[in-house]
């Protein structure tokens, strides 16, 4: 009886963990090879989260292009990020000066921490790569992909994939316990991007009422 209970708990924990890691993504998206997967070929942990946005990819892309601290932010819980000194302020409009990320550019997560642009495909994919500097050797290597694909009826699927490779014995001890926080922040970010893209599109599509 105890073995059955333990097995049930283990299955529930595993199922719950996968639900956090793959929030919003369907089976095909979880298995799909995405731009940037090659950056970290042998990953110890992979998350694939997704959301449908009722705009075309080209209308969502400007919000992806301007991601970063000191730029458009990450459209998540700024107040929480700022407790840790991120100095984050998520943009509510598209900024032309932040629309041209290039491979090799640094995209900051914090004033003192940045990821580099590893892949840039206009209107399609932005992939960031790097780690958090702790000692001489980072505890893990990380890639963060933002991928847009056209969905039926002119909508867009935004897929965000994180891939971790542990470089030191304690790498997993840093990454694994933070996955709940990562899930909450990522879900807010996905909703934040969707709200901005859909609102911006509606605003520009609304016919003028000037002159009757």
Cα angle: 64, vertex 67, 68; to 5 degrees: 165
Return the residue matching tokens 């003192």.
112
When pLDDT is cut at 50, 70 and 90, the band that residue 3 belongs to is very low
pLDDT at 201: 54
Which two three-digit tokens encode residue 74? 């990450």
Q: Is the pLDDT of residue 56 over 90?
A: yes
11: pLDDT strictly greater than 70? no
pLDDT tens digits, one per residue of 134-157: 767 889 999 999 999 999 889 999
| Sequence-ordered list of residues with C-beta below 8 angstroms from that of 77, at least 6 positions apart, any chain | 184, 185, 188
DSSP three-state, residue 193 = helix
Instruction: Tell me yes or no: is domain 17-65+115-205 CATH 3.30.530.20.
Output: yes
Q: Output the average pLDDT for the chain.
A: 88
């Amino acid at each position: 009886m105890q073995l059955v209970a333990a097995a049930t708990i283990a299955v529930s924990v595993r199922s719950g963990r996968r639900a956090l890691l793959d929030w919003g993504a369907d089976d095909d998206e979880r298995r799909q090879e995405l731009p940037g997967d090659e950056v970290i070929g042998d990953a110890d942990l992979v998350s694939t989260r997704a959301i449908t946005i009722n705009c075309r990819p080209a209308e969502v892309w400007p919000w992806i292009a301007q991601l970063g601290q000191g730029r458009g932010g990450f459209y998540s819980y700024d107040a929480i990020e700022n407790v840790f000194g991120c100095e984050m302020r998520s943009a509510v409009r598209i900024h032309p000066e932040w629309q041209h990320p290039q491979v090799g550019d640094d995209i900051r997560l914090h004033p003192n921490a940045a990821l580099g642009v590893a892949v840039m495909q206009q209107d399609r994919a932005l992939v960031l790569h790097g780690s958090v500097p702790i000692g001489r050797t980072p505890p893990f290597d990380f890639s963060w992909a933002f991928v847009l694909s056209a969905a039926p009826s002119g909508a867009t699927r935004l897929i965000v994939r994180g891939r971790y490779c542990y470089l030191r014995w304690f790498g997993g001890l840093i990454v694994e316990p933070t996955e709940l926080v990562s899930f909450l922040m990522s879900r807010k970010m996905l909703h934040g991007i969707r709200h901005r893209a859909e609102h911006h599109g509606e605003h520009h599509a609304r016919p003028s009422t000037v002159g009757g």
